Structures are given as C-alpha cells and as structure tokens.
A and B are shown apart, each in its own frame.
Chain A
C-alpha cells in the first residue's frame, strides 16, 4: 500500500507540475464563466413583445392598466372567466401570449396568476408585474378616502404573480434544469475522458521507455495500476476544485455586480427610486436592474448546488475509477503508444453513448430505458445528474442510491479485471494487440 502511495504521489506531482494542468485549471473555468456570461446576457430567446389578455371577471381594473406602459406589452381586457384549457386551445385566444387572471381577491392577497405559452424572460415577467402593481395601487388609493398607515402598507405591499405554462401548469417537464444536469454529467465525462487518457498515456509511456520493469521489481502490477489511477485521480480532483472555486467566485461576482438579486431590497437604490418615480422613464430604468433571463434565474434561483455538487463528486469519483481502470487496462495491453490510440476509439464511442443516454433521459425522464441507463455503470454518472437536476418524484429517490451501489460494485469489478489485464499485459512489448490476447490475459490469474 505504501508503494501505491509513492506511485500516486509521483503521478500527482508530475501532473500538477505540467504546464497544461495549470493552464487548464485557470482557462477552463474562465471559458465556462464566459459562456455563462454570454448566456446570461444574450441567452434569453423569449419574445420581445407580449400580447397579454387580462381576464377580469369583476371588471376590477375597469379595462385600464398603468398609464404610459411600455410598448413591449399590449394588454387586452375580457370581463369574464377564461379557463386554462380554453386559453390553451381556443382559436380566438391563439394571438395572445399570456393570460393574466385578476379578481377581487388580488387587492387583499396580492397574488395573481399568469399562464403563458412560452416562458417569458424575467424582464418581461417583472414588467407585467410592475404594470399591474401600479394599477392596483391606483385602485386602492381611490378606495381609501383618507389613507391610514395600514392602508398605505396594504397599497404598497408587493404583488406576487404566479407564472405557469398553460400547456403544463404543474411544470412536469422542466427542460432547463435538466439541461443543467446534463451539463454536469457532460462535465463528469469530460474530466473522466481527459484524465482517463492521461492514465492511458502514462501507462503506455512507462512501457515504451521501459521503466516499468524497474518499477515491477518493487511493486506488484496491481499496486502500480492503483497508484497511477489514484494519483492521476487526485490531480483531476484538484483541477476540478480549481474549476469550482473559480466558477463560484465568478458567479458570486456576477451576482453582486452584473446581475443583482432583484428581490433583495438592499439592492434597490431608494433615492433613485423616488427621483425616477416622478418620471415616465421610471419603469424602464428600474427594470435595468431586473434584466434577468431564464439562465440567470436558473443558476441563481433554481439550481440546488449543494445537493448537485455532493452527488456530482461521488459519481465523479466512482465513474472515474470505473473508466480509469478501463483506460489503464487498455494502456497496459497495447504494444506501443500509437497502438493505444486506436483502442481509444471504442472508449470514445462508449463515452458518446453515455452522453446520448443523458440526452435521452432529458427528453424521456420517465421511460424505462432511462431507468436502465440510470443503473448501467457506463451511463449512470451522466443520467443520474440529469435526473437529479429534474428532481426525483416522491418515493423514487432510492433510485439514485441503487445506481450508486451498482456503480461502486462495477468499479470494484472493473478494477479487478483491469488489474488482471495489467498484470499480464504490462510486460508485453512491441506486439500487435488482438482480442485473443486480451481473452487469454483475462483467463490467466
């Protein structure tokens, strides 16, 4: 075990001493941050103009909304009841992008409902909210001849608009978080592939420069393989840590400076609010601070980072051990470094298949094939990430642990198989690898 540790330390030092390690540790996360920034800034592909139908059964608003509203929203009024189903499928409503339901209660509980066809960006959402809020304030002020403090607070209490997809009011398929899960899954596989290749190259290099025989006089092939996988794994983990720290710091910076929290009162400039409120341009300038799109909302509001990250780490480690052993075995069975490259191809196919499985899970989260992919050790790290982001239905959370146990057992089996291939293949030089060799090496103890 001590020798494995020495091998691991040497591998670790060699990796972190390499220039590529340092550049990838810094440039990699900066690139991801850049992409996130671009998505935050330009990612919202929602409509820039909205046709909103207000179903005002009690004629509360008297077919009026806040005066001087921006041209981004056109309001139409209907003094009756429109059901969601009618709005979703009714021909005469197809020109409208959203249905805003208002009734007498809104004055007291300050809760309204909006059913949209296509999810609006946060800018549009806050815009509609703002317009309705101001109109409700007008109505309330008219009702109170003499405004008491309580009344004033009632007037000023914020309105909450609850948005829901008219076609899917219970939000059963939430794509965007799933995509984020897929991103995590792909990240796992990117790291596995990157560092798996490092293992393969390192093994092939030791074979080609013949130091392996010197090493094998002191350590067993299994110890050598394990030390190598662990050492390179730690360097992968360290790099991953760099990524997390840099991306987290970047997101924090963006939150504080570029995309502040609109719901946090401390981010509002009160003086500016007073000055601006006298002007017509108030709402637009106010909205600048609220220029959110769905990506900003996703990253800052909806992702459960703590949960995702802890499972990410566990699946990353086990997935890495599983695939790392496979890469080490391939490295040990090759006759030369270039020979190794051709055997990487099936591994790349396997990794691509895993990505596809993740994409499949995104589109068909409830299918039985997805459940199979979730348990299959080749695909589970990415599929579980997608499922985790989408959220498990009540009573199905156990699936993640089943998947984890299967992956753990598979990783142990894979390490044993790879150890055998490694032991029998590591001292074979200059041969052309054939499948029959591999089967023979597997059969030998």
Chain B
C-alpha cells in the first residue's frame, strides 16, 4: 500500500534520514522502531508531506503521493496539542473539516466516536479543563475521524493509563480487521509484540532491520529453548550433561516447572529432548525467541558502544 523508496533528508549538516526504503502492506499494523533521534518522526513527517524529502519517493497504492492523498491519512503526532480555549466539540469539528469532511459528516462521526469512547459529556468542556488522558482520547478521535485508510500514530500510548492503552490497542486491532493500514511508532516494545504484524528499525538515520515480528525475533535467536515438565528439578538437571546450560526456571507448583535451557556446542533441540525423555514428564517444549525489547537493544546498543569508544 505504501512504498517508501530511498528517502534521504538532511537538516543543514545533520542527516535525519539516509536512503531509507520501506514497504508497508495493506491491512497490517507496521511498527516503526528506533531510539530517540533516529529519524522516525522525520520519516512520518515526510509521509505526511509536512517535511519535504531531499531525495526518494513515497507512493501510495502505486501512485506518487499528492496533497489530495492526505485526506486518506490520519495522523496523531508525538508532539500533539489542541487549542486550549476551544471546546471539545468545536475542536473536533474544526479538525474534521480541515481533513476534508463536510460539517454534517464530521458531526455524525463525532457522535459515533464520542459514544464509543463514552466522552459525550465532555463536548462543551474546554480542552484546558480536561486531564491529559482525556485530551489524548480527543486527539485520537481527531486522528481517526476521517476514517483514514492509512493511520499514522507517533507514540500513541504515552500519557495513557493502562486501561486506555488497552482501549486504543483494541481499537487498532479492530481497524486492522476492517482493512485499515496502521503505522505505529513507539518505544513500547510489548505492544509491538502484541499488535504489530511487521516492523522496521531505524537507527542513526538508516533502516537497519525490517520484517515480520517473528522474523526479527528469529534473526536474533540465541539457541534457547524452554521445557515445561512434571517431576523433580534435580532429575532434570542431572539428565543434562555439559552440552546444555540452565538459564532460569519458573516454579509452577505441584512439581511442575518451566526451565529455559541454552544449547552449547553442536547440540540441538532434538538432543535436548533425547536426554530428557524418560527422566521427567515433558508437557511442552518450545524454542524461546528473544523479546522485541532484546532485539531492539541488540540491534542498537552495540553500535552505540562502538560510537562511544571513538
């Protein structure tokens, strides 16, 4: 749906994006990851035509993006704000109309979203009277009011309490089910694992990884496996020989455990199972993939260390 090709952008001597290409498919939630200052926000601004790229192209459904396409995009920036002295109603009406909706459509959609988020009582309130979380709900409504085909959210969960984070997540999942495409820029790796289909990592203005969440995790797997079993922990440890290393364990109770084991040398998952069968009662065994947090740190940190040494 969205093809970003060889985008470069510099602000005077600072390179914000260096030859970044991405491909975002229709109906997926795409995570845009990277440390602070990596260039994520600049890329989002290029997609939104707020900032003009120095080179490269952005294509939407195969065509070069134009100003008209902005009507199909919803955008919730990281640095977001509202007019403090305006009422919620007027604010949403104004932003809806700016996004190209008629007054009638804006009002109808406002009713729908206000009902959905139970914020009808706030209509007459000024933004300055709302709490931060309340204001963020209003901002989210403003971003999705025009039923965008492509929704771009920059740190949408910051400032929300856990209940509202869940509410927004569910909303995004529903939107994906309805065929919408969502770009999610966030530092919240747990939510990336939970709701993103694919992701890209940008670091120091360059894209350093792109793929489905499992692909990204697989690329960084460390040969670790987990075994859930019933029996004696001593028996489990005794069964292992020098080719395996117990990393940690969870006690589930009633002599049931989950133990994570790292392979040593040429040993495989098959070898592990072979030595365990007969010693304990295996309930389940699986490969442990690194969390997105680990993937992120692994991809980003070594480079920073190298840089620090310079």
Q: Which residues of A contact B (CB under 8 A)?
A: 3, 6-7, 10, 14, 209-220, 427, 429, 440
Contacts and interface: CB of A to CB of B under 8 A. Distances in A.
A215 B98 contact: yes
Contacts of B85: 14
A123 to B, nearest CB: 53
List 9 tightest A-B contacts by C-beta distance, closest first: A210-B81, A209-B81, A211-B81, A218-B98, A210-B79, A213-B77, A217-B75, A216-B50, A217-B48
A289 B95 CA distance: 61
A427 B9 CA distance: 15
28 contacts: A7-B98, A10-B94, A14-B85, A209-B81, A209-B82, A209-B84, A210-B77, A210-B79, A210-B81, A211-B80, A211-B82, A211-B83, A212-B81, A213-B50, A213-B79, A214-B75, A214-B80, A214-B81, A214-B139, A217-B70, A217-B73, A218-B70, A218-B95, A218-B98, A218-B100, A219-B98, A427-B50, A427-B51
A158 B98 CA distance: 70
A440 B94 CA distance: 33
Nearest to B83: A211
Contacts of B82: 209, 211, 214
A216 B44 CA distance: 12
A354 B139 CA distance: 45
A6 B90 CA distance: 12
Summarize B's interface: helix, strand, loop or mixed: loop
Nearest to B51: A427
Interface of B: 12, 45, 48, 50-51, 67, 70, 73, 75, 77, 79-86, 94-95, 97-100, 139, 142
B50 A6 contact: no
Nearest to A220: B67
Given A6-B94, A440-B12, A217 B81 contact: no
Contacts of A214: 75, 77, 80-82, 95, 139, 142
A217 B143 CA distance: 10
B94 A217 contact: no
Nearest to B99: A218
B36 to A, nearest CB: 14
Contacts of B99: 218
Contacts of B83: 14, 209, 211
B79 A429 contact: yes
A211 B127 CA distance: 12
A3 B98 contact: yes
A216 to B, nearest CB: 5
Contacts of B45: 213, 427
A231 to B, nearest CB: 12
Contacts of B84: 209
